[in-house]
């Protein structure tokens, strides 16, 4: 397809089209690039006009379009638009210059540029899931995940696609769109920016009507915001050719001068730790070592000690110049004014603990927020918009048995009355409402995101798992919280005498349950997911009776909803097969065949994956890299546990920051994070809040 004189010193360019778009749509750009001496290809994506084909077929077509030229030694930059980000990134697999060199081949992909494109947040997620599990309204589609489906656009999409294009051009370009295989968006990806192994950067179109909300910024590069208004107009396309040159794709760009101010502000590690331990004198728990701070915490929500910690929080933040408000769930919002009016960017977490908890879970997040306020005051630093710190009530759900209940009320997902009527565990008569009244924290403003909206919510938290410590890493950039589903499985066999029933005559519900649970572990391994059984009951429960009925629970978790759904399908299929006596993966080897049994399922709970906001994730990553000075110390993560950030993310941009937990231990007095790691986390938290504030100001 290359025409005209090309410059062999320049890399080639592969333009990857978005959904329903064809090479014709990119002709103006292709010609402009060729005129500048770039050998340019625009492969036609095989998913166009077809069903059943996926992004993998598109990725293969991209590779095929340039493989011969790579064999000649040619290197290419991928410039992917919109959906093209998925197959474009996928095409790098085995085809980067590094991978090809390792295989003794020449050429390859040198860099990738995402132009208002989907840069997927992590592997094993499909595009639809990343899009929030729902196709946009302007799209014509079939039922998700049914396979062999075809997708197209509604007439209303014309504005979204071609909003700044002259009407005649818009009409013509719209006519040229083709149907596309819906399966392309429903298959999990394996290559993402963070693991593609080549430089990658993002071009964000501020006037983009299609992808603005979903352009994930996950790369290990500083995001360059560019004022490019739409990409489809001929004039704009010519104008943006400069931005598409490899120089821009290869170099990451510094953000504005504001960041130097941000980086000049440093948290005071000693003050942070001293204050944290001081506040832990309210509700001190079990001693586990001989050091002065070697005790855990037992500060149940709305207890006397929780009130003391709250009073300290209110007094301290007030004295730091904050306006402090308490809502009807006792959530405390401390807001420091900015240069301009507007919503506050919040740091937040919780001051309550488990009855046998530690000094860091939740507490670190709030205390780091207070340290941020102190640093800002020390430097008399002004933020553009207000910044705040929030303490959420009863996050743990340890005293009043719903976790994250008060952020849940704030998000209007848990009714206020349900929360108020929660009775304390352990047989006491106190309710949340009576305790809020007793300690004088039943505030007058409604507990709702409508009454206390936030510009953003950043939460610093201990990892509560082993990954950061195991890899000697310092900061987890949290992209979301994993999905889970809970099931109750009933296995029905037949009660029988253990002494008089030969093995071949049994329908032993426990034996089958053991096999099912064993197999669930294997399937979890296959899907890189988690499956756990926490409750198991046998009936009738007698030493000399083979149990005729067993009930057990399954807790299934994975970062992506699609993984949980696929694992559930595999579990149901294989459980039925095992019940019917089929030998799967040798489970029945050397065993006596059994009489048939029945397996039935009940779904108890479905919690979809939470995906945090790209702007917040980008702010956390940029801050983490700036603070640690080494990308190897920073990793992308999905939270295994729930946090208040799950609820805030429903109503404002949100992300979390994880710091290492010693031995991965939490909800335990010995929970520990070193002062150095606490300070690094607090520094990243402060920078993230300030970066977000700058981003809004320059918005």
Give residues in contact with Zn ion (CB under 5 A): 361-362
Neighbours of 245 (CB within 10 A): 18
CB of residue 362 to Zn ion, shortest distance in Å: 4
Q: Which residues contact 228 (CB under 8 A, 6 or more apart)?
A: 203, 204, 205, 206, 236, 239, 240, 243
Q: Give per-residue burial for 564-577: e unless 16+ CB within 10 Å, then b.
A: bbbbbebbeebbee
Give the count of alpha carbons within 13 A of 601, CB side only.
17
CB of residue 259 to Zn ion, shortest distance in Å: 30
Which residue, 361 or 625, has its beta carbon nearer to Zn ion? 361
CB of residue 289 to Zn ion, shortest distance in Å: 22
CB of residue 404 to Zn ion, shortest distance in Å: 9
Which 3-state string (H, E, C) describes 592-641?
A: CCCCCCEEEEEEEEEECCEECCHHHHHHHHHHHHHHHCCHHHEEEEEECC
Neighbours of 27 (CB within 10 A): 12
Compute the distance between CA of residue 329 and CA of residue 394 in angstroms, rounded to an integer. Answer: 9
Which residue, 77 or 404, has its beta carbon nearer to Zn ion? 404
Which residue, 305 or 354, has its beta carbon nearer to Zn ion? 354
CB of residue 350 to Zn ion, shortest distance in Å: 6
Q: Which residue is nearest to Zn ion (CB)?
A: 362
Compute the distance between CA of residue 484 and CA of residue 477 in angstroms, rounded to an integer. Answer: 21
CB of residue 658 to Zn ion, shortest distance in Å: 11
CB of residue 397 to Zn ion, shortest distance in Å: 10
Which residue, 74 or 643, has its beta carbon nearer to Zn ion? 643
DSSP 310-328: HHHHHHHHHHTT-EEEEBT
Specify the DSSP class assigned to residue 103. Answer: T
Which residue, 336 or 643, has its beta carbon nearer to Zn ion? 643
Which residue, 636 or 671, has its beta carbon nearer to Zn ion? 671
CB of residue 407 to Zn ion, shortest distance in Å: 11
Compute the distance between CA of residue 257 and CA of residue 280 in angstroms, rounded to an integer. Answer: 39
Sort residue 97 into left (φ over 0), alpha (ψ -120 to 50) or beta: alpha
Q: E strand or H helix at 238, and its extent?
A: helix 234-240
Q: Please, are residues 231 and 113 in contact by the beta-carbon 8 Å criterion?
A: no
Which residue, 259 or 407, has its beta carbon nearer to Zn ion? 407
Which residue, 623 or 661, has its beta carbon nearer to Zn ion? 661
Task: Report the SS3 class of residue 343.
Answer: coil
Which residue, 661 or 688, has its beta carbon nearer to Zn ion? 661
CB of residue 361 to Zn ion, shortest distance in Å: 4
């Amino acid at each position: 397809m290359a025409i005209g004189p090309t410059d062999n010193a320049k890399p080639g360019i592969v333009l990857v089209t978005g959904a329903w778009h064809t090479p014709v749509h990119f002709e103006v750009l292709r010609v402009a690039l060729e005129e500048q001496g770039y050998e340019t290809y625009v492969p036609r994506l095989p998913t166009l006009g077809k069903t059943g084909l996926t992004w993998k077929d598109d990725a293969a077509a991209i590779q095929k379009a340039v493989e011969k030229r790579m064999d000649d030694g040619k290197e290419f930059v991928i410039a992917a638009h919109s959906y093209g980000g998925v197959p474009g990134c996928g095409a790098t697999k085995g085809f980067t210059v590094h991978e090809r060199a390792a295989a003794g081949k020449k050429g390859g992909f040198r860099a990738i540029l995402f132009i208002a494109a989907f840069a997927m947040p992590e592997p094993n997620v499909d595009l639809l899931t990343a899009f929030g599990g729902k196709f946009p309204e302007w799209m014509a589609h079939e039922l998700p995940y049914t396979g062999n489906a075809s997708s197209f656009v509604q007439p209303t999409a014309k504005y979204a696609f071609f909003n700044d294009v002259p009407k005649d051009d818009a009409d013509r370009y719209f006519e040229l769109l083709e149907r596309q295989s819906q399966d392309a968006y429903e298959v999990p990806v394996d290559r993402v920016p963070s693991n593609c192994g080549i430089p990658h950067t993002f071009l964000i179109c501020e006037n983009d009507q299609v992808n603005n909300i979903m352009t994930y910024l996950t790369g290990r590069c500083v995001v360059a915001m560019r004022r490019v208004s739409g990409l489809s107009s001929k004039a704009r396309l010519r104008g943006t050719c400069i931005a598409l040159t490899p120089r821009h794709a290869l170099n990451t760009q510094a953000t504005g001068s504001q960041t130097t101010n941000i980086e000049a502000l440093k948290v005071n590690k000693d003050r942070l730790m001293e204050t944290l331990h001081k506040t832990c004198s309210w509700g001190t728990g079990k001693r586990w070592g001989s050091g002065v701070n070697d005790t855990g915490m037992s500060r149940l929500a709305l207890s006397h000690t929780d009130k003391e910690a709250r009073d300290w929080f209110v007094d301290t933040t007030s004295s730091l110049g904050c306006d402090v408000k308490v809502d009807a769930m006792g959530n405390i919002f401390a807001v420091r004014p900015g240069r301009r009016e507007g919503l506050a960017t919040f740091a937040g977490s919780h001051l309550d603990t488990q009855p046998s908890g530690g000094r860091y879970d939740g507490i670190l997040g709030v205390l780091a927020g207070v340290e941020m306020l102190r640093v800002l005051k020390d430097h008399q630093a002004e933020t553009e918009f207000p910044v705040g710190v929030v303490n959420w009530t009863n996050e743990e759900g340890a005293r009043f048995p719903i976790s994250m209940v008060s952020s849940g009320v704030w998000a209007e997902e848990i009714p206020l009355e349900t929360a108020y009527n929660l009775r304390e565990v352990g047989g006491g008569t106190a309710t949340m409402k009576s305790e809020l009244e007793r300690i004088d924290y039943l505030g007058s403003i409604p507990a709702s995101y409508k009454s206390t909206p936030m510009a953003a919510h950043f939460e610093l938290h201990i990892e509560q798992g082993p990954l950061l410590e195991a890899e000697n890493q310092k900061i987890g950039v949290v992209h979301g919280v994993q999905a889970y589903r809970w099931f109750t499985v009933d296995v029905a066999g037949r009660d029988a005498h253990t002494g008089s029933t030969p093995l071949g005559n049994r329908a032993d519900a426990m034996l089958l349950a053991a096999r099912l649970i064993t197999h669930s572990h294997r399937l979890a391994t296959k899907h890189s997911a988690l499956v756990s059984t926490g409750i198991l009951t046998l009936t009738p429960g007698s030493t000399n009776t083979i149990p005729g009925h067993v009930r057990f629970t399954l807790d299934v978790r994975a970062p992506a909803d699609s993984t949980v759904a696929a694992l559930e399908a595999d579990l149901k299929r294989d459980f039925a097969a095992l019940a019917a006596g089929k030998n799967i993966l040798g489970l029945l080897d050397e065993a006596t065949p059994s009489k048939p049994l029945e397996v039935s399922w009940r779904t108890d709970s479905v919690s979809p994956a939470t995906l945090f906001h790209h702007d917040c994730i980008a702010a956390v990553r940029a801050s983490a890299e700036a603070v640690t000075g080494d990308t190897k110390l920073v990793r992308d993560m999905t939270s295994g546990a729930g946090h208040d950030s799950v609820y805030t993310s429903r109503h404002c941009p949100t992300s979390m920051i994880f710091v290492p937990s010693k031995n991965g231990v939490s909800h335990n007095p010995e929970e520990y994070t070193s002062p150095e790691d606490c300070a690094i986390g607090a520094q990243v938290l402060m920078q993230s809040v300030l970066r977000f504030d700058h981003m809004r100001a320059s918005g």
